[in-house]
Chain A
């Protein structure tokens, strides 16, 4: 019987996979060949080795495909975190931009006071970072929700918009609770809720788009190779 492990390792050629991972791939394919060969021998095939090896017409192509799949895709957990952080960051940026546009159109007299107001509003490091941290955590949660929703609905813009809306409702309900306790003034709560809807929808759709893209496409370095 041929030494399948040696044969597969030789034909698969060099890959950029970590040695342990490459070894596992070689072992798995060699075992597949071995079982196939044994079965062909049992049924009295005239050329069991030839038939077994015919399963891979292009070893280079197989090596490239395996490498692209194994190396080019981030794990689901990492993708959820990265795309979720982007969702939160983008939603934050859109909300700030909308605030500034609103000020520009409706309260131009307030514009010169903004830098001073920002300085006064950020006395401690934790307070300064709490907003972005909460937005990113909310983004990660939203993309995680999207991965659940796309299992029952089709992945795409509609599902991501539905997810963004669901996340926005949850956020607004939470803020409404704090507003009812008097921690957030009603006018601030209503303004923020209104502004955060388009911001959160845009952020979720962009994050979901990136999530889908990261699932299907290999990294640019691999595409170039």
Chain B
């Protein structure tokens, strides 16, 4: 058996999807704010950099789960692309949250069993 410490890519992709949809469910944000909000809410445990954030964000947009729109800001020096959750994204978030809750409950049960 190989000793691979990296989580499988499907797990990473799923968690990235949940993290982005969850923060966008609270408020529309632009890319940097999304990464910052995730880092703050998870106390730095989950963090996104440019290389990991934008491919996932664009994939979610292609699937119609989020929508990005350029916004001109009076205070900002440049326009920003602000993302918000679409109705389909909101529908997708509900079962996604349930799946991940079930997954972590199962892991918890397993860990307790291993400790005993």
Contacts and interface: CB of A to CB of B under 8 A. Distances in A.
Interface of A: 24-25, 27-29, 31-33, 35-36, 55-58, 61-62, 65-66, 69-70, 73, 75-76, 147-148, 151-154, 215
Interface in B11-64: 30-32, 35, 49-51, 53-55, 58-59, 62-64
Nearest to A74: B62
A95 B22 CA distance: 44
A127 B12 CA distance: 52
Given A35-B32, A76-B64, A154-B95, A29 B59 contact: no
Given A151-B88, A152-B91, A65 B31 contact: no
A17 to B, nearest CB: 11
A151 B62 contact: no
B80 interface: yes
B62 A75 contact: yes
A112 B48 CA distance: 68
Max chain A Cβ within 10 angstroms of own Cβ: one of B55, B70, B81: B55
Interface of A is mostly: helix
Contact of A31 (B32, B35, B91, B95): B32
27 contacts: A24-B70, A27-B78, A27-B81, A28-B31, A31-B30, A31-B31, A31-B80, A32-B31, A32-B32, A32-B53, A32-B54, A55-B49, A55-B50, A57-B51, A61-B51, A62-B50, A66-B55, A69-B55, A69-B59, A73-B62, A75-B62, A147-B88, A148-B91, A151-B91, A151-B92, A151-B94, A152-B94
